[in-house]
């Protein structure tokens, strides 16, 4: 494998022996392929639950390159849940601005407060406790366990779900996707296995233009790039996102970015959101930002909370 030792873990640098038994689901040999090819991403070098949690929340619908730039800056300002919880939520939103889906910043702040109030300031290491945190779903909770604690749990995001559906050759129900992901994890290899499947979906088994000839699963894949794609409509696989340019999402992001600098008065609202000729739209979308806890208004000006 290009002169690299395929059995040396990128997480620890220590030699890794492949498990002797093949689990049901994806073939265990995939682990050997992954250990020599994992992407060099900054959050893969840490095992701190808060740091992993922040990375995983950022990575939801935000490009990896953008997160790689902003993740260390965010942690430099909020290195622990306690520091984040003590900050005004508006300050956290301002720091998040530019990453998109700013509601995630509100949930992350609420999570930090919950961790401080109910877990002594330490992100919990129990699946049920993680799922109880505000805005934390099954993927993020399991990702914290797999990547911080190296637990043998299967994680399912849109990349993993796409790989599993194509490997199976059919649409999968939510329970089937999670069961296959869990069953595929080789004992003692939760960290490396999940990183490998994520990278396979992100770089080879892509939603568009998958490179099946380069795929280590091609010999056993039920789809192999032929016929209708079973990933379309399968549980956990995202559909195509609506265009961002000219969307309400774009206007929301513009307003949050503007408010990170200064309050905006009512006369400047439509201009700040990029719709100078459509003040009604600006007011409607801004009202949703207020409902989401991202913005506050006194009826004359708009502010971050």
CATH for 48-148 (3.40.630.30, 2.40.110.10, 3.50.50.60, 1.10.340.30): 1.10.340.30
* pTM, to two decimals: 0.82
Residue 285 and residue 272: Cα distance in Å, rounded?
12
Element (H, E) at 264: strand 264-265
SS3 label, residue 302 = strand
What's phi and psi for 278, nearest 5 deg?
-140, 65
For 111, the token pair is 């999570």
Q: Supply the residues annotated as catalytic.
A: 56
Radius of gyration of the chain (CA): 21
Which pLDDT does position 167 carry in this prediction? 95
101 within 8 A of 250, measured Cβ to Cβ: no
Domain boundaries, the chain: 48-148, 248-303
Calculate the alpha carbon distances from 26 to 38, 190, 210, 227, 298 in Å.
18, 14, 18, 21, 55
Residue 209 reports pLDDT greater than 70? yes
Which pLDDT does position 14 carry in this prediction? 59
What's the mean pLDDT when you consider all of the chain?
89
Residues 96-115 pLDDT 10s: 999 988 999 999 999 999 99
Mean pLDDT within 250-258: 87
Which pLDDT does position 257 carry in this prediction? 86
């Amino acid at each position: 494998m290009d002169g690299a030792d395929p059995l040396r873990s990128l997480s620890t640098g220590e030699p890794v022996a492949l498990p002797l038994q093949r689990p049901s689901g994806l073939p265990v040999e995939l682990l050997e392929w992954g250990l020599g090819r994992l992407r060099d991403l900054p959050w893969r070098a840490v095992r701190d639950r808060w740091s992993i949690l922040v990375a995983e929340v950022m990575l939801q619908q935000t490009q990896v390159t953008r997160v790689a730039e902003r993740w260390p800056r965010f942690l430099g300002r909020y290195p622990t849940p306690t520091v984040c919880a003590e900050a005004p939520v508006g300050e956290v939103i301002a720091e998040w601005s530019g990453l998109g889906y700013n509601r995630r910043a509100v949930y992350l702040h609420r999570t930090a407060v919950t961790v401080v109030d109910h877990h002594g300031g330490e992100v919990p290491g129990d699946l049920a406790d993680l799922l109880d945190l505000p805005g934390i779903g099954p993927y993020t909770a399991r990702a914290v366990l797999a990547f911080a604690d190296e637990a043998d749990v299967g994680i399912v995001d849109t990349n993993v779900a796409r790989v599993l559906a194509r490997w199976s050759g059919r649409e999968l129900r939510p329970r089937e996707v999670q069961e296959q992901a869990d069953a595929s994890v080789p004992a003692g290899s939760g960290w490396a296995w999940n990183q490998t499947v994520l990278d396979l979906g992100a770089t080879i088994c892509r939603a568009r233009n998958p490179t099946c000839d380069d795929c280590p699963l091609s010999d056993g894949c039920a789809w192999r790039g032929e016929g209708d794609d079973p990933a379309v409509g399968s549980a956990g696989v995202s559909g195509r996102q609506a265009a961002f340019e000219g969307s309400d999402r774009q206007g929301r992001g513009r307003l949050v970015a503007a408010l990170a600098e200064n309050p905006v008065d009512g006369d400047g609202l439509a201009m700040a959101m990029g719709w100078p000729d459509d003040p009604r739209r600006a007011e409607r979308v801004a009202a949703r930002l207020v409902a989401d806890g991202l913005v506050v208004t006194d009826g004359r000006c708009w502010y971050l909370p």
